[in-house]
Amino acid sequence: MLHRNDSTSTIKDFRVKIEREQVEGRNLFTGYGEGYVAVNGTRYMASLVVSARRVIADWPAPSIDELQADHLAAILELEPEVLLLGTGARFTFPSQALLAPVYRAGIGVEVMDTQAACRTYNILLGEGRDVVAALIL
**Side-chain-side CA neighbours of residue 134 (13 Å):** 26
Predicted TM-score (pTM) of the model is 0.82
What CA–CA distance (Å, rounded) separates 98 from 75? Answer: 13
Q: Which domains does the chain have, with CATH numbers?
A: 2-135 (3.40.1230.10)
pLDDT above 60: residue 18: no
Q: How confident is the model at residue 12 (pLDDT cuts 50, 70, 90)?
A: low
Who contacts 33 (Cβ-Cβ below 8 Å, separation ≥6)? none
Task: Give the mean pLDDT of 60-71.
Answer: 92
Element housing 84 (H / E): strand 82-86
* DSSP β-ladder status, 82-86 and 55-56: unpaired
Q: Looking at the predicted structure, is the pLDDT value of residue 28 above 80?
A: yes
* pLDDT of res. 11: 52
